[in-house]
């Protein structure tokens, strides 16, 4: 794995990689299938299933401890342009990791980045936010509104 | 002593078929899918992930199906699977303060900032069997509020922190290695990181009983459920080839902050002490039990007398793992034919000796009687 040039360590790349990882596979696949002119890519590292040890903190804020592992699938691909893309996604879906890696590579090239952002990244981000908001609004409906009954004497 | 015995191949094969047959049950009833288990038995899935120490709802659902619904057997299956996978590394520590809250309650502050959010809970059910569920009616979507839950809800411990009334839990080692009981065996005295890892994957029933025992006086430390929160948060990981961290997914966790009675010293005025529980998924009973036991195991740190099982770290850490416990208890079913034959010989010898001694004594008595 070559070292990435500085512009690719930007917060922007962190954002799209995170969106790709947190997306539902069904959403990602259908948006990917609708993308015209898909590039050719080679697998630099074929999809591989492994684990990441999830760490917590004592009391939520203190020193770290090992909570338990989660399954993660990773994949690295290269485009003809020379751009190298990585996918790291929770779970064991190899196709998810590979599509994420190809999109990560595409997003680094100047040619397609805007189109891919518009047709894949942004819609995934919106769908994720919508899902979160629905869950959060269900939770908010269970918020207790205390009231005090005033008594005389 | 252990001796290999041949035979029983056919019986074993047929036993496995019989097990699969029982798993499938009555063929006139539709078969359960993994998706159905994952979506409709979520708390069983959460428990299997937590004690199996592997976050993967699909695998946990598969394990539950394969284990015919035996939760501990499913935990065993998940533990066995995790040994087949490589580890890419460790995540950044998750930030439970940044959790997307689905439930958050406090038993110590009625009007805490952010409010009491009940979320999905059995607490307010009447525990009466609901026969409408047997009628297979469709369940309506839960009601929603206009506004989502406020972001960045303060932890209840942070509120007490402002007044210095509670012990601080701040990191003092961000770069050192984090002890990992899956890589090196536990030695005693164990550090708190090892204890928490052990408790996080420990058996819920065992921890529940131990936590209960502390409440009943076996190592009491006067707990209050300062805060319980459950929801989703992102897991961040820094792949070597990237050199910067990215989010690799979201997980559900449950956290319990137990606030316990005060300790002080010549230097520190009395303040509340803390116990901590954290689990994958929604495992509230487990998180609360874990927090009680965590606090009990801190006895030495607070110079408390160790008198109860929940305070004895060797007792707790050596017996909390249900895969180990189940293995050792159930190994008694394995053939011990030769061992048992040995015991039979011994007990027969003992009985023969006793019978001979008694016979000899009787003869002596008879002779004495005859002499009188």
CA distance A88 to chain B (A): 6
Asked if A153 is an interface residue toward chain B (Cβ–Cβ < 8 A), one would say no
Contact flag A68-B53 (C-beta cutoff 8 Å): yes
User: Cα dihedral sign for B128, B131, B132, B136?
Assistant: positive
Q: Which of A9, A48, A54 is the best substitution to test chain B (most B C-beta atoms within 10 A)? A: A54
Instruction: For B262-311, write each residue's pLDDT tens digit.
Output: 777 777 788 889 999 999 999 999 999 999 999 999 999 988 999 999 99
User: What does residue A77 show for φ and ψ, rounded to 5 degrees?
Assistant: -135, 155
Of B59, B86, B145, which has the smallest distance from its Cβ to A50's Cβ? Answer: B86
Give the model's confidence band at A120: pLDDT under 50 very low, under 70 low, under 90 confident, else very high: very high
Query: pLDDT exceeding 70 applies to what percent of chain B?
Result: 98
Instruction: For A67-81, write each residue's pLDDT tens digit.
Output: 999 999 999 999 999
Of A51, A65, A136, which has the smallest distance from its Cβ to B148's Cβ? Answer: A136
Instruction: For B11-54, write each residue's pLDDT tens digit.
Output: 999 999 999 999 999 999 999 999 999 999 999 999 999 999 99
In the predicted structure, residue A4 carries a pLDDT above the cut 60: no
In the predicted structure, residue B371 carries a pLDDT above the cut 80: no
Least confident of A8-22, B181-195, B228-242, B304-318: A8-22
pLDDT reported for residue A2: 43
Contact flag A146-B97 (C-beta cutoff 8 Å): no
Asked if B175 is an interface residue toward chain A (Cβ–Cβ < 8 A), one would say no
Contact flag B53-A135 (C-beta cutoff 8 Å): no
CB B55 within 8 A of CB A70: yes
CB A117 within 8 A of CB A16: yes
Mean pLDDT value across chain B: 92
Cβ contacts below 8 Å, chain A against chain B, sum to 246
pLDDT reported for residue B351: 93
Give the model's confidence band at A153: pLDDT under 50 very low, under 70 low, under 90 confident, else very high: low
CA distance A21 to chain B (A): 5
Instruction: For A6-21, write each residue's pLDDT tens digit.
Output: 445 689 999 999 999 9
| Bridge partners of residue A57, in order along the sequence | A64
Structure tokens at B361: 């004594």
- If phi > 0 it is left, if psi is from -120 to 50 it is alpha, else beta; for residue B46 that is alpha
Residue B56 CA to residue B34 CA, distance in Å, equals 12
Residue A20 CA to residue A24 CA, distance in Å, equals 9
Give the model's confidence band at B135: pLDDT under 50 very low, under 70 low, under 90 confident, else very high: confident
Average pLDDT over residues A39-61: 97
Contact flag B142-A141 (C-beta cutoff 8 Å): yes
Asked if B56 is an interface residue toward chain A (Cβ–Cβ < 8 A), one would say yes
pLDDT reported for residue A109: 92
Chain B residues within 8 A of A89 when measuring between CB atoms: 248-249
Chain B residues within 8 A of A25 when measuring between CB atoms: none
Chain A residues within 8 A of B174 when measuring between CB atoms: 64
Separation in Å, CA B247 to CA A58, A73, A90, B96, B209:
22, 13, 9, 15, 37
Asked if B61 is an interface residue toward chain A (Cβ–Cβ < 8 A), one would say no
Average pLDDT over residues B95-111: 92
Residue A51 CA to residue B87 CA, distance in Å, equals 5
pLDDT reported for residue B337: 85
Domain boundaries, given as residue ranges, for chain B: 9-82, 97-120+147-171+179-327
Segments of B220-352 assigned E as strands: 224-237, 246-263, 271-280
> How long, in residues, is chain B?
372
Chain A residues within 8 A of B247 when measuring between CB atoms: 17-18, 21-22
Contact flag B145-A140 (C-beta cutoff 8 Å): yes
Query: pLDDT exceeding 90 applies to what percent of chain B?
Result: 73
Chain A residues within 8 A of B97 when measuring between CB atoms: 60-61
Question: If contacts are CB pairs under 8 Å, which of residues 47-86 in chain A contact chain B?
Answer: 48-72, 74, 76, 86
User: Residue-wise over B148-180: b if at least 16 C-beta within 10 A, else e?
Assistant: bbeeebebbbbbbbeeeebbebeeeeeeeebbe
Average pLDDT over residues A113-132: 96
Give the model's confidence band at A3: pLDDT under 50 very low, under 70 low, under 90 confident, else very high: very low
Contact flag A132-B100 (C-beta cutoff 8 Å): yes
Residue of A nearest to B243 (CA): A9
pLDDT reported for residue B364: 80
Asked if B93 is an interface residue toward chain A (Cβ–Cβ < 8 A), one would say yes
Chain A residues within 8 A of B157 when measuring between CB atoms: 59-61
Residue B74 CA to residue B41 CA, distance in Å, equals 14
Mean pLDDT value across chain A: 92
């Amino acid at each position: 794995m070559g070292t990435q040039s500085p512009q690719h360590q930007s917060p922007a790349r962190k954002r799209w990689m995170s969106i790709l990882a947190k997306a539902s596979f069904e959403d990602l696949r259908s948006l990917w299938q609708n993308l015209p002119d898909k590039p050719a890519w080679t697998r630099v590292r074929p999809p591989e299933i492994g684990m990441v040890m999830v760490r917590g903190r004592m009391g939520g804020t203190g020193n770290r401890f090992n909570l338990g592992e989660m399954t993660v699938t990773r994949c690295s691909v290269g485009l003809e342009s020379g751009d190298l893309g990585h996918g790291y996604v929770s779970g064991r879906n190899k196709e998810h990791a590979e599509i994420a890696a190809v999109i990560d590579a595409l997003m680094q090239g100047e040619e397609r980045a805007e189109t891919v952002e518009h047709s894949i990244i942004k819609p995934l981000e919106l769908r994720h936010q919508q899902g979160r908001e629905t869950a959060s609004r269900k939770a908010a409906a269970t918020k207790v509104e205390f009231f005090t009954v005033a008594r005389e004497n | 002593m252990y001796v290999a015995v041949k035979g029983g191949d056919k019986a074993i094969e047929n036993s496995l078929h019989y097990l699969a047959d029982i798993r499938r049950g009555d063929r006139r009833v539709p078969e359960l899918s993994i998706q159905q288990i994952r979506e409709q038995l979520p708390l069983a899935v959460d428990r299997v992930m937590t004690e199996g120490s592997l976050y993967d709802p699909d695998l946990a659902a598969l394990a539950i199906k394969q284990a015919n619904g035996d939760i501990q057997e499913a935990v065993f299956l998940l533990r066995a699977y995790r040994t087949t996978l490589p580890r890419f590394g460790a995540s950044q520590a998750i930030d439970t303060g940044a959790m997307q809250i689905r439930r958050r309650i406090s038993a110590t502050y009625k009007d805490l900032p952010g409010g009491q959010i009940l979320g999905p809970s059995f607490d307010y059910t009447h525990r009466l069997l609901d026969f409408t569920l047997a009628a297979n009616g469709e369940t309506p979507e839960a009601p929603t509020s206009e506004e989502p839950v406020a972001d960045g809800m303060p932890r209840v411990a942070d509120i007490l922190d402002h007044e210095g009334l509670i012990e601080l839990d701040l990191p003092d080692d961000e770069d050192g290695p984090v002890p990992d009981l899956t890589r090196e065996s536990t030695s005693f005295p164990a550090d708190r990181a090892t204890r928490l890892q052990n408790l996080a994957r420990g058996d819920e029933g065992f921890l529940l009983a131990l936590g209960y025992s502390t409440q009943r006086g076996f190592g009491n430390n006067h707990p209050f459920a300062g805060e319980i929160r459950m929801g989703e948060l992102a897991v961040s990981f820094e792949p070597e080839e990237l050199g910067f961290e990215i989010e690799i997914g979201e997980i559900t966790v449950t956290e319990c902050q137990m606030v316990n009675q005060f300790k002080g010293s010549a230097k520190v005025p009395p303040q509340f002490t803390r116990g901590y529980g954290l689990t994958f998924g929604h495992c509230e009973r487990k998180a609360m039990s874990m927090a009680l036991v965590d606090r009990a195991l801190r006895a030495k740190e607070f110079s408390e007398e160790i008198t109860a099982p929940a305070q004895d770290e060797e007792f707790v850490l050596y017996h909390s793992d249900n895969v180990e416990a189940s293995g050792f208890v159930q190994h008694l079913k394995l053939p011990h034919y030769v061992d048992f034959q040995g015991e039979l010989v011994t007990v027969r010898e003992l009985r023969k000796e006793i019978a001979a001694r008694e016979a000899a004594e009787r003869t002596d008595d008879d002779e004495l009687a005859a002499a009188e």
